[in-house]
Amino acid sequence: MNKGFDGVRPASESSIEIGFFYQGRHCVERIRVKPTAANLKRAAERRTAILAAIARGDFDYAAEFPKRTAAAPSAKDET
């Protein structure tokens, strides 16, 4: 089902994982949608937008993944 979307994979029958590097850490976030071809494509597009925001320096982890704010890397984690 996965047509080779980098950093995106089916995690279960009801979720997709998106992986990316942020502040030197490998982050993996799970999106609770069925891993259909269309949803995998949407997840890949979301990952592309995340990578672009990281490159611009305006990625807001807490806004993108509000349920994961406790685990989100912060600037003070880089010390």
pLDDT at 37: 95
Residues 6 or more apart in contact with residue 50 via CB below 8 angstroms: 18, 20, 59, 64
More confident residue, 58 or 68: 58
pTM of the model: 0.82
pLDDT at 79 over 60: no
| Domain extent listing, the chain | 1-60
pLDDT tens digits for 49-60? Answer: 999 999 999 999
Q: For residue range 18-59, what is the model confidence (pLDDT) as tens digits?
A: 999 999 999 999 999 999 999 999 999 999 999 999 999 999
Query: In which order are the strands placed within the sheet that holds 15-22?
Result: 8-12, 15-22, 25-31
